């Protein structure tokens, strides 16, 4: 047990010292029926690959979970119908596809506490024990950046839309897991270049 923990610690330290701009990232977004992973469900999962600062939309994926028991009021936000649910995939198969990337990609979310919170519960229920190399959060990166500039952070200043506006990125009106994953990927790259200022950027500077 101690040896395993020590190995993980060393690998993490080595990863944090590496060049952030040459890494592979998997940017993930979920659509949910609510905010509590103990009560609510994952409706859909989407991810976008970033490899060497390039967003690989041709390798992106979007899956709808056919195991959803009740959409409740969530279709108002994500527009996914019961018919789409019927034609979806099992959550276990979606999670297997997702976790296959954990060994070679750093995971990126906007508000990791929410989405990774749901995924942790789902992965445990599916008996998938693969651990991600590292998790980064564009919301946390932006909050840290603003605080370093002594900028007052107001309510809604850290939403995905507000963060993108700060970097003059275009607005995406469609609320969809794949669109939001792409939007988060673009934001992440913009943050990396803003923080690096043309110099080498270590992965640890984004945590």
Number of domains in the chain: 1
Residue 89 has pLDDT above 80, yes or no: yes
- Average pLDDT, integer, range 67-79: 70
Supply the pLDDT for residue 75.
Answer: 58
Residue 55 has pLDDT above 90, yes or no: yes
Residue 91 has pLDDT above 90, yes or no: yes
Supply the pLDDT for residue 98.
Answer: 98
- Residue-wise burial string across 141-163, b where 16 or more C-beta atoms lie within 10 A, e elsewhere: bbbbebeeeeeeeeeeebebeeb
In whole angstroms, give the CA distance from residue 202 to residue 192.
10
Residue 173 has pLDDT above 80, yes or no: no
Residue 73 has pLDDT above 80, yes or no: no
Burial label for 16, CB within 10 Å (0-12, 13-18, 19+), is: middle
pTM over 0.85: yes
**CATH for 20:** 3.30.420.10
Domain that holds residue 19: 2-206
Supply the pLDDT for residue 76.
Answer: 47
- Average pLDDT, integer, range 108-118: 98
As given in the structure block, the two tokens for residue 122 are: 């789902």
In whole angstroms, give the CA distance from residue 49 to residue 28.
9
């Amino acid at each position: 047990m101690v040896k395993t923990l020590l190995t993980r610690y060393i690998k993490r330290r080595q990863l944090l010292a590496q060049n952030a701009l040459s890494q592979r990232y998997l940017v993930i977004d979920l659509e949910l029926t609510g905010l509590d992973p103990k009560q609510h469900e994952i409706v859909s999962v989407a991810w976008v690959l970033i490899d060497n600062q390039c967003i690989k939309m041709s390798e992106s994926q979007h899956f709808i979970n056919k195991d959803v028991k009740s959409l409740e009021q969530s279709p108002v936000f994500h527009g996914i119908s019961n018919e789409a649910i019927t034609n979806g995939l099992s959550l276990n198969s979606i999670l297997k596809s997702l976790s296959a990337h954990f060994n070679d990609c750093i995971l990126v979310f906007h508000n990791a506490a929410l989405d990774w919170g749901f995924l942790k519960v789902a992965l445990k229920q599916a008996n998938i024990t693969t651990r991600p190399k590292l998790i980064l959060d564009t919301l946390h990166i932006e909050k840290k950046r603003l605080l370093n500039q002594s900028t007052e952070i107001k309510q809604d200043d850290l939403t995905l839309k507000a963060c993108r506006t700060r970097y003059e990125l275009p607005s995406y009106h469609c609320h969809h897991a794949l669109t939001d994953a792409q939007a988060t990927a673009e934001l992440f790259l913009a943050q990396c270049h803003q923080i690096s200022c043309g110099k080498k950027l270590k992965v640890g500077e984004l945590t």
